Amino acid sequence: MAHVSFDGGTVPLEDVQENPGQYARRLERAKITPGFALCLCKPANANLRLVIRRYRSLFHLAGWPDDGHRHAPGCGFYKDPNRRPLPGGDDPKAAIVATPAGLNIKLDVSLTQRDVRASAGITTPPGGTRAGRRSATLLAFLQTLWASAGLHCWNGLGTTRHWGLCNAQLLAELGDAVVNGRGAQDVLHVMRRYQEADRAAINAEFDAFVAGLTNGSGAVRRGVLIGEVAEVTPTQYGHSLVLRQNPRKYYASPALFDHAAKTWPHAWKALGDRAARIVAALLVEKTVKGHLRIVNLALMLCSSAYVPCDSIHEVSMANRLVSEYRSFEKQMRLADGDDMLPDFVLRDTEPRTHIEVYGMNGVASYEERKAEKRELRRQRGIPAVEWDVDRTELSAVTLPEPVHRRAASLTSSQTA
Ligand SMILES: [Zn+2]
């Protein structure tokens, strides 16, 4: 397990990420002097510095800018030099721009509303049409944030990932992020993992976020919540949604949930499925009575280790890959033209193996793309595993042995 060192001590990285409250004082001291922490994933003389970022009252460790490739491949701060850059790249007009201080995001939803009566309903003007800079949908924001925090990758070392770890990696990536010109710390709340020991601090932090949502003198100030959906229940007037990390209810109109069910059918159908998780970005505002109303939302289907997936079959595949300690990446479709990407890439074979999960057999456009992708892989000599969900059980799909296991079995057969 990777260790980090700061404030005169060495601790497991995961412990810091899952218990940020316990390390707040020590990280605060280290942020002042020497101003950084160290990652010990490589021999001591490698001297890999980590940025200590403050997000409200807590501190999170992030990789040093442009240093990701220097970490050991299993390290949480490792960034694959071959990984695809974020859409937008250096384009200053992109909706989401990575800066040294954190992300700068322009959402296509309004965070303030002057006229309360006009605020109901779904407000999704098409991205890219506003003067100057483009803007991102809540889903594009959620997916890009997930990818920039490296949560679409699995390093094959463990078999679980808790929400606490996701929270730490998301906040480290956000840093001093700016959302629609405002500090993310004021308008964006990533739910904390619930821990009895930190209950007071966790609740106080959430209450402070809610208190910042105001509804008075004709203006509404909204905020974005990111968390895992626990349940959606019909109510007298619509639906209520509860996030796993906090018992508070968020209310929405039937129209908004109809929209969600149609827009993200795979995530919607997986509600209540214990093999899957659904991460939500909720744009919320406070009603005059003090309830929290969802004005807009995005749902992202994930595997049980929070790897984003495009279908419930991909969830099964991702869960299997995690349980078999495979190192892999979910290829997230973040830009136009990304539909030629494979579903997953196994990173522990040489060369890397593409994994395709095929549903929707017989749909002409889908079959055509399938054939195109096969041809591209053939030309480039890329090995692939194809799982046709209509014909085969997942357990019958054969995956290539990872390089390290093959090497180990070669060594043992030589010495035998
Ligand atoms: Zn490292």
Task: Name 109's Cβ contacts closer than 8 Å, sequence gap at least 6.
Answer: 123, 124, 138, 222, 283, 295, 296
Q: Which residue has the higher pLDDT, 47 or 20?
A: 20
Domain identity same for 294 and 323: no
Q: Is the pLDDT of residue 251 over 90?
A: yes
Ligand 1 centre and the CA of 76: distance in Å? 6
Contact of 239 with 233, CB cutoff 8 Å: yes
Residue 78 counted as domain residue: no
Strands 328-330 and 276-286: unpaired
In a domain, residue 79? The reply is no
CB distance 16 to 10 below 8 Å = no
What is the CA(36)–ligand 1 centre distance, in A? 13
Q: From 257, 277, 303, give the residue that closes a domain.
A: 303
Question: 87 pLDDT band (50/70/90 cuts)?
Answer: low
User: Ligand 1 centroid to 164 CA: how many Å?
Assistant: 19
CA gap 286, 116 in Å, rounded:
11
Q: How many structural domains is the chain composed of?
A: 3
What mean pLDDT is predicted for residues 297-316? 97
Task: Report the range of poorest mean pLDDT among 43-57, 114-128, 264-278, 299-313.
Answer: 114-128
Same domain? For 66 and 117 the reply is: no
Q: Are 91 and 235 in contact (CB under 8 A)?
A: no
Nearest to 39 by CA among 172, 152, 148: 172
Residue 362's identity, in one-letter code, is: G
How long a stretch of residues is the chain?
A: 416
Residue 11 has pLDDT above 70, yes or no: yes
Looking at the fold, whether 244 and 145 belong to one and the same domain comes out as yes
Domain match, 66 and 109 both: no
Max CA distance (Å), the chain: 81
Q: How far is the centre of ligand 1, averaged over its atoms, from the C-alpha of 402 (Å)?
A: 22
Residue 100 one-letter amino acid: P
C-alpha 60 – ligand 1 centre gap (Å): 14
For the segment 4-32, the average pLDDT, to the nearest whole number, is: 93
Task: Say yes or no: 223 and 272 in one domain.
Answer: yes
What distance in angstroms lies between residue 298's CA and the mean position of ligand 1's atoms? 32
Centre of ligand 1 from the C-alpha of residue 29, in Å: 21
Same domain, 66 and 133: no
As given in the structure block, the two tokens for residue 180 are 């629609």
Q: Of 66 and 229, which is predicted with more confidence?
A: 229
Ligand 1: distance of its center to the CA of 181 in Å?
32
Tell me the mean pLDDT in the region 389-407: 90
Q: Compute, in angstroms, the gap from residue 270 CA to the centroid of ligand 1.
A: 35
In one letter, which amino acid is 85? Answer: P
What is residue 351's three-state secondary structure?
Answer: coil
Q: How far is the CA of 72 from the centre of ligand 1 (A)?
A: 6
Angle at CA 299, nearest 5°, toward 296 and 302? 165
Question: How far does the centroid of ligand 1 lie from the alpha carbon of residue 6, in Å?
Answer: 14
Query: What domain range is 106 assigned to?
Result: 96-303
Whether residues 217 and 355 share a domain: the answer is: no
In a domain, 389, yes or no: yes
- The gap between the terminal CA atoms of the chain, to the nearest Å, is 30
* Centroid of ligand 1 to alpha carbon of 77 (angstroms): 5
Is the domain of 334 the same as that of 362? yes
State the distance from the centre of ligand 1 to the C-alpha of 78, rounded, in angstroms. Answer: 6
- Position 56 scores a pLDDT of 82
Q: Are 73 and 150 in contact (CB under 8 A)?
A: no
| pLDDT score of 123 more than 50 | no
Higher-pLDDT residue of 102, 396: 396
Question: What pLDDT digit, counting tens, does each position of 191-223 carry?
Answer: 998 888 888 888 888 999 999 898 777 788 999
State in Å: Cα 12 to ligand 1 middle.
11
152 CA from centroid of ligand 1 (Å): 18
- Between the CA of 13 and the centroid of ligand 1 the distance, in Å, is 9
**Are residue 276 and residue 330 in the same domain, yes or no?**
no
Q: What local confidence, expressed as pLDDT, does residue 129 receive?
A: 41
What separation in Å is there between the alpha carbon of 17 and the centre of ligand 1?
A: 14
Give the relative orientation of helices 163-174 and 138-148 as an angle to the nearest 10 degrees. Answer: 100
Tell me the CA–centroid distance for residue 73 and ligand 1, in Å.
Answer: 8
Q: Do 194 and 229 share a domain, yes or no?
A: yes
Mean pLDDT in residue range 63-72: 87
Provide mean pLDDT across the span 160-164: 90
Residue 84 lies in a domain: no
331, part of any domain: yes
In angstroms, rounded to a whole number, what is the distance separating the alpha carbons of residues 199 and 190?
Answer: 16
Residues 107, 236: one domain?
yes
> Where on the phi/psi map is residue 292: left (φ > 0), alpha (ψ -120 to 50), or beta?
beta
From 269, 303, 337, the end of a domain falls on: 303
Task: Check the CA dihedral 381-360-307-303 and report its sign.
Answer: negative
Per-residue pLDDT band at 116 (split at 50, 70, 90): very low
At 38, phi and psi to the nearest 5? -120, 140
In a domain, 415, yes or no: no
Query: Ligand 1 centre and the CA of 369: distance in Å?
Result: 39
Q: What tokens were used for 29?
A: 């001291």
Q: What is the mean pLDDT of residues 9-33?
A: 93
Element (H, E) at 296: strand 292-303
Residue 330 CA, distance from chain mean position: 11
CA distances from 259 to 137, 179, 216, 376 (A): 14, 24, 29, 36
* Distance from residue 269's CA to the centre of ligand 1 (Å): 38
Q: Is there a domain that residue 88 lies in?
A: no
Pairwise pLDDT comparison (406 vs 313), residue with the higher score: 313
Structure tokens at 202: 């966790």
Q: Give residue 32's pLDDT.
A: 96
Query: Which of residues 248, 271, 303 is at a domain's end?
Result: 303
Same domain, 197 and 243: yes
pLDDT of residue 411 exceeding 80, the answer is: no
Instruction: Give 264 Cα–ligand 1 centroid separation in angstroms.
Output: 36
- Domain annotation covers residue 119: yes
